[in-house]
Amino acid sequence: MEIIKKPTILCSNYEVWNILKNVKDSKRLKDQKNLATVTYEAIKYLEETNCVYQSEETIRAFLLALKAKGIRLTKAEKLQLINNRPATLVELQLLIEENEERFSEEALNLILNLVQEYLPGDPKQEAAEMPSDEEEGSEEVKVKLEEEETGEVPMDSS
């Protein structure tokens, strides 16, 4: 008997999510309750990740941008970046093997910027992470108002 090794194909969360949605829509699930349960649970989990904001175009654009910038990553590392969408350098460093030997801090920041630019995340979460203009400028406005009222620069009370 001859064993033939089948090629392994890596799939992103986005691809798995699309496949499972197609399986869910097919009529085969009605006869197979276990498959229906696993499909439902997997879709429910994936819908809580960033893959619901991604598309084939965004993933392709991200991979082309990495290639254009000359960033050489393994297939598994690229997949980790797409699936996990790191937001900080620490998260990024956990996903790339031997990152300190392979990449400078500037290159890691470039990768992080490409992730943020090309791979969309949860808009609600991104809005919560960014300080609003009112919050940033409110302290400066207070200081300027005090200067105008008193003619003096206020002392920092902290």
Per-residue pLDDT tens digits for 105-118: 999 999 999 999 99
Work out the pLDDT band at 155, boundaries 50, 70, 90. low
Q: Residue 27 domain-assigned?
A: yes
Work out the pLDDT band at 144, boundaries 50, 70, 90. very low
The reply to whether 63 and 104 lie within a common domain is yes
- Look at residue 158 and tell me whether its pLDDT is greater than 60: no
Q: Residue 153 domain-assigned?
A: no
Instruction: Provide the domain limits for residue 71.
Output: 55-120
Q: Residue 142 domain-assigned?
A: no
The reply to whether 66 and 107 lie within a common domain is yes
Query: H-helix or E-strand containing 137?
Result: helix 133-150
Q: Residue 86 domain-assigned?
A: yes
d(CA 45, CA 51): 10
The reply to whether 32 and 61 lie within a common domain is no
Q: Residue 73 domain-assigned?
A: yes
The reply to whether 69 and 107 lie within a common domain is yes
76: left (phi over 0), alpha (psi -120 to 50) or beta: alpha
Mean pLDDT value across the chain: 81
Q: How many structural domains is the chain composed of?
A: 2
